[in-house]
Amino acid sequence: MPEPYRVLIVDDDSEQARLVTAYLRYSGPFEVDWAESLGDLWARLLTQAYDMILLDYRLPDGTGLEALEEIRRRGEQVPVVLITGQGDERLAVQAIQLGAVDYLVKGSDYLPSLPALIQKSIRASELQSAIQRSHEQVRYQALLLNNVRDAVVVWDAHGRITYWNPAAEVLFDRKASDCLGQKVEDWYLSAFDPAVNAPEREATEGREIERLYVTPGGKQIWVSSRVSSLRDYVPTSTPTQPGSASNRGRMIGYMDVSRDITSRKKAESALRSERNFISAVLDTVGALVLVLDRQGNIVRFNRACEQVTGYSYDEVKGQPVWDLFFPPEERHQTTHPLQLALNQVLSGKYPVEYESQWLTRSRASRTIAWSNTALLDEQGRVKFMIATGIDITERKKAELALRQSSRMAAVGELASGVAHHINNPLTTIIAEAQLLRQSLAQGHAEPESVDAIERAGWRVQETVQQLIEFARPASNTVEQISVNQTIQSALGLVGEHIQSSGVSLSIQLEASLPPVQGNARRLTELWVSLLLLARDATSDGQRHAIQVRSWFEPSAAEARGDTGGMVCIEIFDDGRTITPVEMQDLFEPNFTQPAGGRGTGIDLNLCQEIVRQHQGQIHAASSPGAGTTFTVRIPALEQTEDQPAPGG
Q: Render pLDDT for 434-473 as a digit per residue (tens, 0 to 9).
A: 777 777 755 565 667 777 777 777 766 665 665 555 555 5
- Residue 5 β-bridge partners: 30
Convert the pLDDT of each residue in 145-180 to its tens digit. 666 788 999 988 888 999 998 889 988 999 999 999
- CA dist list (Å): 634 to 23, 368, 525, 534, 611: 131, 33, 15, 21, 8
Cα separation values, 161 from 180, 188, 191, 274, 382, Å: 5, 9, 15, 42, 56
508, pLDDT greater than 80? yes
**How many whole angstroms from its chain centre is CA 46?**
71
Paired with 223 in beta bridges are 211, 260
CA atoms in the 13 A half-sphere facing the CB of 299: 12
Q: Are 29 and 2 in contact (CB under 8 A)?
A: yes
Q: Please calculate the CA angle 491-497-503 and round it to the nearest 5 degrees.
A: 90
Residue 501 is predicted with a pLDDT of 82
At 50-59, the pLDDT tens digits run 998 999 998 9
Q: Name residues whose C-beta falls within 8 Å of residue 394's C-beta, 6 or more positions apart in sequence.
A: 588, 589, 590
Q: Please give the Cα distance from 631 to 362 (Å, whole number).
A: 39
* pLDDT score for 242: 46
Does the pLDDT value for residue 562 go beyond 50?
no
pLDDT at 69: 92
Rounded to whole angstroms, the Cα distance separating 282 from 603 reads 32
Query: Which DSSP string do the residues of 266-299 spell out, in sequence order?
Result: HHHHHHHHHHHHHHHHHHHSSSEEEEE-TTSBEE
Q: Does pTM top 0.85 for this prediction?
A: no
Domains of the chain: 5-142 (3.40.50.2300), 149-232+247-260 (3.30.450.20), 271-391 (3.30.450.20), 401-471 (1.10.287), 479-635 (3.30.565.10)
Kindly tell me the burial class for residue 286, based on how many C-beta atoms sit within 10 Å of its own C-beta (0-12, 13-18, 19 or more). exposed
Distance CA 307, CA 318 (A): 19
Which residues on adjacent β-strands are paired with residue 390?
369
d(C-alpha 115, C-alpha 27), whole Å: 7
Q: What is the pLDDT of residues 371-385, one digit of tens each?
A: 988 888 888 888 899
Q: Output DSSP code: residue 516.
A: E
Helix or strand holding residue 372 (H, E): strand 365-376
How do beta strands 52-56 and 30-35 pair?
A: unpaired
